[in-house]
Chain A
Amino acid sequence: MSWNGNNGGGNNPWGNGGGRGPGGGNQPPNIDEVIKKGQEQLKQALPGGFGSIGLILLVILGLWLASGYYSVKPDEQGVVLRFGQYIKTTGEGPHWHLPYPVESVIKVNVTQERSNQIGSDSNNGTRNQRYSRGSSLDSSLMLTGDNSIVDVKFSVVWNIREADKFLFNLKNPEQAVADVSKSAMREVVGQNKIEDIITRLRDSIERQVQTKVQETLDGYASGISIRRVQISASNPPDEVVEAFRDVQRATADRERAVNLADAYKNEIIPQANGEASQLTQQAEAYKAEVKARADGEAARFLSVYNEYVKAKNVTRKRIYLETMEEILAGMDKIIVEGGKNGSGVVPYLPLNELKKKKEN
């Protein structure tokens, strides 16, 4: 990884430090004209034989001074060194430094986000191997606070905040980020329970790790800013994942049992309410009916009675006769003359026959 995209240099910024600065190709296009004009002016100012050698020296001097020109892009910081000693950091825009070999500049990209994947399969082969010596440990398995093991894969995203600190205070800062992140993640995971780590505490763990890593790197004066820590996966290890899934299923089972019971409740309560309302309505109907009938019959009786009062005997006889008429009209009648109280008749009553007749 190079410190800035433009130079593509190796890990040592001084390896080709002298070669920096714009070459001929970077010069402004009108420089030839300027030189020509200068030559003419010089010729006028310095008449005589001095001429050509002085002119060549002047041109060389001019080119040498121009080689100190450099420009810093918006996403970069330029770190100026004088004989290897740090002088200043320059921001965006065109700048000039004393030309080689006095001063040189290192440009560092400070906005680019760099990321370290930790415990991720895709990078195990390259990045992690470089940093840990043939680790026999699975780098993403961690001990938790409740003596369990959890599998956490995460990445750390960072950028350079202060280019000079980044360059001068830490050898191999990238490795520092990876190592410190690993350590911090394990520290935080070690303080929590596995269930919380794989469920509700992810955000909080990310934030805690970020703070810890930042603090440690600040302690190194590394000039690095941790943008964020992202947990890409936090799972129980493969060996026990089935047991964890069964807990999920059990939770689902519990919910389903409760839901079924609720459904039952929602079914029988309205049913009972319906029956209840039927019962009360029936009672109300009975009440209305009974009342109406009572009122009606009472009124009927009273009507009849009022008439009866006017002519008691006649009415009584009339009612009696009308009733008899109605009754006797529809009945089989047997009239038997007998002794007193009809005692003579009784022995001859063919009750069995009468009954049979009824059955037919």
Chain B
Amino acid sequence: MKTKSIISLILLVVLLFVGSASLFVVNETQQAIVLRLGQMNRLEMNAGLHFKLPFVEEVVRLERRMLNLDAAETEVVAADQNRLIVDSFARFKIVDPLKAYQTARSDQGRSALLERILMSSLQKVIAENTMPDIVTNKRAEIMDRIAVVTNENAKEVGLEIIDVRLKQVEVPTNNREKIFQQMKTERERIAREQRALGQSEAVTIRANADREAAVIRADARRTASITRGEADAYAVRVFAEAFGKDEDFFEFYRTMQTYKKALGKSDTTLVLSPDSEFFKLLMSGGKVKK
């Protein structure tokens, strides 16, 4: 009874060991190559629990997720001879695990390989385009084009490029100075223009104001003259009507008033002859009748 149970226990342990050696797990992020005695036997692309022959088969796991290649900065010459520093990255996947495994055993090896491929296609595509196109007009198009060119070569090593992006496209430091200079002069031009515009606007406003003021005054003067004229005309008419009734009396009456105003002061000396009309009573002794 006791020996029997010990034997069964040993059997159980052996069974477990063999069982665990014949099972393997592929994670959701992995794909696996099964090698039988070092030779490629089959691919296990799906995640989950898989069987293998214990001790004869071995499993190589490769990444199934999308991988990143952060390429080094590189100086390139555009079609218009402008020098540019380009910093790029690529996203790629291992689509043919066997090819990928054969060309490079490690992730680093694969990255290095892909980087060389990317650099050459980058140089090629950039050299076909001008700087304004690369920076502004056709950037997305150029990135797609680089991806396509890179992909052609990447296929041969079992990789697929998802996309290539230009992270930074910049001018080298010494060319940068030129751009700064040009930016400065451009700003100076704008500043001057602004100040000149300010002056001209101000002068225009002042001139308009002066004109407006002059017009206002002139209008007022005209109105005032008309008013005064009306008044004078009225006076003339009224006087004419009143005085016209008896011109002779008016002359007399008005003359008398004028005398009063003009002569009635003490600083006037009057030299009179006694035989003037005024004195005809004075010398005649009171006899009025001639």
Cα(A247)–Cα(B172), bound, Å: 27
Q: How far is the CB of B226 from chain A (nearest CB, A)?
A: 8
Is the Cβ of B168 less than 8 Å from the Cβ of A186? yes
The interface bits of chain A over 323-336 (1 if a CB of B lies within 8 angstroms of the residue's CB, else 0) are 11011111111111
When distances are taken between beta carbons in the complex, the residues of chain B under 8 Å from A283 are 223-228
B209 located at the interface, meaning its Cβ lies under 8 Å from any Cβ of chain A in the complex: yes
When distances are taken between beta carbons in the complex, the residues of chain A under 8 Å from B224 are 279-280, 282-283
Is the Cβ of A287 less than 8 Å from the Cβ of B228? yes
How many B residues touch A, CB cutoff 8 Å?
112
Nearest A residue to B191, CB-CB: A250
B6 located at the interface, meaning its Cβ lies under 8 Å from any Cβ of chain A in the complex: no
The interface bits of chain B over 226-243 (1 if a CB of A lies within 8 angstroms of the residue's CB, else 0) are 111011101100110111
Cα(A30)–Cα(B192), bound, Å: 85
When distances are taken between beta carbons in the complex, the residues of chain B under 8 Å from A260 are 202
Q: How far is the CB of B233 from chain A (nearest CB, A)?
A: 10
Tell which of B206, B213, B256, B266 touches A330, judged by Cβ atoms closer than 8 Å: B266
A202 located at the interface, meaning its Cβ lies under 8 Å from any Cβ of chain B in the complex: no
The interface bits of chain B over 196-239 (1 if a CB of A lies within 8 angstroms of the residue's CB, else 0) are 01110111111011101110110111011111101110110011
Tell which of A183, A280, A301 touches B227, judged by Cβ atoms closer than 8 Å: A280
Is the Cβ of A298 less than 8 Å from the Cβ of B239? yes
Is the Cβ of A279 less than 8 Å from the Cβ of B217? yes
The interface bits of chain A over 117-154 (1 if a CB of B lies within 8 angstroms of the residue's CB, else 0) are 00000000000000111011101011101011100000
Is the Cβ of B65 less than 8 Å from the Cβ of A237? no
Cα(A271)–Cα(B226), bound, Å: 22
Nearest B residue to A172, CB-CB: B68
Is the Cβ of A168 less than 8 Å from the Cβ of B28? yes
Within residues 79 to 107 of chain A, which ones have a CB less than 8 A from any CB in chain B? 81-86
Cα(A280)–Cα(B219), bound, Å: 9
Nearest A residue to B132, CB-CB: A147
Nearest B residue to A264, CB-CB: B206
Is the Cβ of A272 less than 8 Å from the Cβ of B216? yes
Is the Cβ of B230 less than 8 Å from the Cβ of A287? yes
A249 located at the interface, meaning its Cβ lies under 8 Å from any Cβ of chain B in the complex: yes
When distances are taken between beta carbons in the complex, the residues of chain B under 8 Å from A52 are none
Take A179-B165, A258-B198, A261-B205 as given contacts and tell me if A250 and B180 are in contact as well, using a CB distance cutoff of 8 Å: no
Nearest A residue to B271, CB-CB: A334
Could you tell me the dominant secondary structure of chain A's interface residues?
helix
Is the Cβ of A84 less than 8 Å from the Cβ of B231? no
Q: How far is the CB of B111 from chain A (nearest CB, A)?
A: 12
Cα(A331)–Cα(B186), bound, Å: 92
**Which of the candidate stretches B9-17, B35-43, B45-53 sits at the interface with the other chain?**
B45-53
When distances are taken between beta carbons in the complex, the residues of chain A under 8 Å from B70 are 131-133, 175, 179
Nearest A residue to B258, CB-CB: A323
Is the Cβ of B140 less than 8 Å from the Cβ of A323? no
The interface bits of chain B over 167-194 (1 if a CB of A lies within 8 angstroms of the residue's CB, else 0) are 1111100001001101110111011111
Q: How far is the CB of A3 from chain B (nearest CB, A)?
A: 13
Is the Cβ of B48 less than 8 Å from the Cβ of A82? yes
User: Which of B66, B85, B187, B193 has the most chain A CB atoms closer than 10 A to its own CB?
Assistant: B187
Tell which of B85, B171, B195, B209 touches A269, judged by Cβ atoms closer than 8 Å: B209
Cα(A86)–Cα(B245), bound, Å: 130
User: Which of A236, A294, A329, A336 has the most chain B CB atoms closer than 10 A to its own CB?
Assistant: A294
A33 located at the interface, meaning its Cβ lies under 8 Å from any Cβ of chain B in the complex: no
Is the Cβ of B246 less than 8 Å from the Cβ of A149? no
Cα(A83)–Cα(B89), bound, Å: 33
B63 located at the interface, meaning its Cβ lies under 8 Å from any Cβ of chain A in the complex: yes
B67 located at the interface, meaning its Cβ lies under 8 Å from any Cβ of chain A in the complex: yes
Take A219-B163, A253-B195, A257-B199 as given contacts and tell me if A345 and B66 are in contact as well, using a CB distance cutoff of 8 Å: no
17 CB-based A-B contacts, threshold 8 Å: A84-B49, A86-B47, A143-B171, A171-B68, A175-B70, A176-B68, A179-B68, A247-B194, A254-B195, A256-B198, A258-B201, A264-B206, A272-B216, A316-B252, A323-B259, A326-B264, A329-B264
In order of increasing CB-CB distance, the 6 nearest A-B pairs are A254-B198, A276-B220, A283-B224, A272-B213, A294-B235, A287-B231
